[in-house]
Structures are given as C-alpha cells and as structure tokens.
C-alpha cells in the first residue's frame, strides 16, 4: 500500500507540471499578437475615413489637365481641387468612406480674391459655419485628413471642425497640397486641437507644382507607409 501511495503522489506531481506547462504556453500564445511594431500596418477591421477640405481655384481659366499654379485638376471634364484629387486617390487605394468638409460660406474661385478673403479670416480668427455636423467622426479608427495650407496655417474651416469634435483615440494621418511650405506647423496645430488623438508623423505633402505626378506619388507613399505590397 505504501508503494501505491508513492506512485499516486508521483503521478499527481507529474500532472501538475504538465498543467503548468500548458498554461504557460497559452499565455505566451495570447501575448504574441499584441506585440505590434511602430510601423502602421493595414488592418481589414480598421474603419477608415478620408476627410478633406479643398478649394478648386481659377475654375473658369483652366483648360489643361493639371494647372500647376492653381489649386485645380481637371479630369474627364470634371473639376477637382488639388486636395480633393489627392483625397480621391487615397480613397481608391485604401477604401473606407470619403467626405468633403464644406462651408455655408462661398469662397471665391479667383486666386487673388481668395488670398484676400483667407487673410481676412485668419486676422479675424473666423470660424466659418460648416454645412453638416461631424459628431459621428469618433466612430472611425483612422482618419486621413486633407487640407491646403493657407497663410502657413490650417484653413479656418478646419478650426471650425476640430474645435467641435472629440477625436480621442483616433489616428489622424494628415495630407496636404502646398505652394512651397510643406506642412508648415499644421501637424503641431492638429495635436494642440486634438491632444488625445494620435497625429501621424508619416503624413503626405505634395507641392502643387507636382500635381501631374500626384497619382504615382500618393500610391508610392501609401505602399511604403502601409506595407501594401507585403499584404497583397
């Protein structure tokens, strides 16, 4: 009987060791997926929005496929603002939803007149009224946010938007078409306006002088940033 008791005790000890080993293996397998890299990775479960403000200037004077000096692109007899054109390329590549930020105020299409109006808005710190409510933005995981650079700053309609919504926990990826200033200080401004959002430092900026190469440039940026080639 004593021998049988020792055998039973030994058997229980071996079972306990096996159980501990199995639990450790399960914990290791559960932890592995949460170890993410710093690079932005494509995720089929991510809800994406391409949100943009664009102004197609000098519409009546444009006759070419792309006017480098004005904020306009014409394709198939359809007029697009430069930022709108880039937004469409992002949307075609990444999917998700796409929405234009529009104001009740009508901006002049003539470049010189627009510059004057924008200068007055900036001096007055105006907040143009938007045509819709954007409280639904917190339902997205990632927002590509596009805008032109007006007087080295965000357009005033972007302030109207970002001061009335809470984008906490959302990744914002800025993109812009500019006349030589790049992003200027707008990325920092975005972080100030939305301190609990993640403002990506891997945004996209394109000179308006290079709009003829916009499609290739945007697709190259998206492929490099989101490893799209590796995921296909």
Q: What is the DSSP string of 220-231?
A: HHHHHHHTHHHH
pLDDT at residue 107, rounded to an integer: 92
Chain-wide mean pLDDT for the chain? 79
Are 105 and 136 in contact by the 8 Å Cβ rule? The answer is: no
Closest CA to 51 of 206, 176, 208, 156: 176
Over residues 129-136, the mean pLDDT reads: 96
pLDDT at residue 43, rounded to an integer: 46
Ordered structural domains, the chain, with CATH: 48-223 (3.40.50.360)
More confident residue, 79 or 150: 150
Distances in Å between the Cα of 84 and the Cα atoms of 11, 35, 71, 99, 108 are 71, 36, 10, 10, 17
Distances in Å between the Cα of 6 and the Cα atoms of 2, 16, 18, 229 are 6, 15, 19, 61
Tokens in use for 143? 């927002």
Q: What are the pLDDT digits (tens) for 21-52?
A: 333 333 333 332 222 233 444 444 679 999 99
Measured distance CA(100)–CA(135) in Å, rounded: 15
pLDDT at residue 57, rounded to an integer: 58
| Whether the predicted pLDDT of 229 surpasses 90 | no
Q: What are the pLDDT digits (tens) for 79-109?
A: 678 999 999 999 999 999 999 999 999 999 8
Measured distance CA(159)–CA(172) in Å, rounded: 15
Closest CA to 165 of 147, 187, 143, 185: 143
CB hemisphere CA count around 188 (13 angstroms): 4
């Amino acid at each position: 009987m004593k021998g049988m008791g020792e055998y039973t005790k030994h058997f229980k000890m071996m079972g306990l060791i096996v159980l501990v080993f199995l639990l450790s293996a399960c914990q290791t397998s559960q932890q592995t997926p949460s170890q993410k890299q710093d690079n932005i990775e494509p995720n089929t479960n991510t809800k994406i929005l391409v949100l943009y403000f664009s102004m197609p200037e000098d519409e009546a004077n444009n006759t070419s496929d792309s006017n480098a000096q004005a904020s306009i692109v014409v394709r198939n007899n359809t007029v697009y603002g430069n930022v709108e054109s880039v937004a469409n390329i992002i949307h075609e590549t990444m999917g998700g939803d796409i929405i234009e930020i529009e104001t009740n105020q009508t901006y002049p299409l003539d470049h010189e007149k627009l510059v004057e109006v924008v200068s007055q808005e900036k001096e007055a710190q105006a907040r143009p009224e938007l045509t819709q409510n954007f409280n639904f933005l917190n339902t997205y995981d990632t927002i590509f946010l596009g805008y032109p650079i007006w007087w080295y700053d965000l357009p005033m309609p972007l302030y109207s938007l970002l001061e009335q919504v809470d984008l906490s926990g959302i990744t914002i990826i800025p993109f812009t078409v500019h006349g030589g200033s790049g992003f200027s200080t707008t990325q920092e401004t975005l972080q100030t306006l939305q301190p609990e959002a993640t403002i990506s430092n891997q945004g996209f900026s394109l000179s308006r002088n290079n709009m003829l190469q916009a499609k290739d440039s945007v697709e190259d940026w998206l492929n490099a940033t989101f490893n799209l080639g590796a995921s296909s």
